[in-house]
Structure 1
Amino acid sequence: MTDLITIDLGICHGKPCIRGLRYPVENILEWLAGGMRIDEILAHYEDLTREDILAALAFAA
């Protein structure tokens, strides 16, 4: 799943992001730590997938 995480100096200052989108892994982790459920995140950010969120968790581990 970590192949969904990209690092590009031109996107979000080189922070690890989801699939080259402007969603840093740290944001997803903050949302989850703040109590958002995966389904809530997916409802708010339609271009993210469940696999993206699981990849962010795997990357953080």
Structure 2
Amino acid sequence: MENLISRITINPEICHGKPTVRNMRWPVEVILDMLGSGMEINEILDDHPELEKEDILASIYYAKLSISGNVLKKVS
């Protein structure tokens, strides 16, 4: 799981310091919103080819860590 979480970055210069995928302007919350709206992983990847399956899985894992109180706080 460490490989997945390394895909999530927090950089004050990108998206106001929100957790993002690989320092791109893809906040974790947007990925989760797409999944929550019913989009499947393959649909997201088809619509946004710059994303990889592992990015989506990392976003889900980050959410799980956040809920459990183990939030990523390191600035990358």
Same fold (TM over 0.5): yes
TM-score band w.r.t. shorter chain: over 0.9
How many residue pairs match? The answer is: 61
Taking only the aligned residue pairs, the percentage that are identical comes to 49
Structure 2 unmatched ranges of 5 or more: 65-76
Partner of 2:26: 23
Q: Highest CA radius of gyration, 1 or 2?
A: 2
TM-score normalised by structure 1 residue count: 0.99
TM-score (norm 2): 0.79
CA RMSD, Structure 1 to Structure 2 (Å): 0.3
Q: Which letter does structure 1 place at the counterpart of 2:23?
A: G
What is the CA–CA distance in structure 1 between the aligned matches of 2:33 and 2:47, rounded to whole Å? Answer: 15
Q: Any runs of at least 4 consecutive aligned residues in structure 1 with deviations exceeding 2 A, and if so which?
A: none
